[in-house]
């Protein structure tokens, strides 16, 4: 299910800068971030580590969830990440 909609969080290091995004193709989008093909915030701060993702049945629910997460404070996002990825591992290999 490579093209299943997903919400994701990138980081530059453990407890570092965070970026929340949504995509219809997680593998392609994360690769673009890692190659810095996406100009702006993620490239400026070197956000190459995929530390969290969740897949959704449709784009509407993924966008809704992304908007919800973007309103969360940093502590809530860190708890979310550490709930599923306590070591802040790069999850790239899990999605390719």
Tokens 């990138």 map to which residue? 10
- The model's pLDDT over 81-94, given as tens digits with 9 standing for 90+, comes to 999 999 999 999 99
pLDDT band at 2 (very low <50, low <70, confident <90, very high): low
Mean pLDDT of 24-31: 97
Cα 53 from Cα 69, distance rounded (Å)? 12
> CA 57, CA 83: separation in Å to the nearest integer?
22
**In order of start, what are the domains of the chain with their CATH numbers?**
6-95 (3.40.1440.10)
Per residue in 33-76, pLDDT tens?
999 998 999 999 999 999 999 999 999 999 999 999 999 999 99
| Cα separation of the two ends of the chain | 11
pLDDT, residue 20, reads 98
The pTM (predicted TM-score) of the whole model is: 0.96
Q: CA-to-CA distance for 55 and 37, rounded, in angstroms? A: 23
- Bridging pattern class, strands 49-55 and 6-11: antiparallel
7 beta partners: 22, 54
């Amino acid at each position: 299910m490579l093209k299943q909609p997903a919400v994701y969080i990138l980081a530059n290091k453990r407890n570092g800068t965070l970026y929340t995004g949504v995509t219809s193709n997680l593998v392609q989008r994360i690769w673009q971030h890692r190659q810095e093909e996406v100009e702006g915030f993620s490239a400026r701060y070197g956000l190459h580590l995929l530390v969290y993702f969740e897949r959704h049945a449709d784009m509407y629910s993924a966008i809704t969830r992304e908007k919800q997460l973007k309103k969360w404070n940093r502590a809530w996002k860190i708890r979310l990440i550490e709930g599923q990825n306590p070591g802040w591992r790069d999850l790239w290999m899990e999605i390719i």
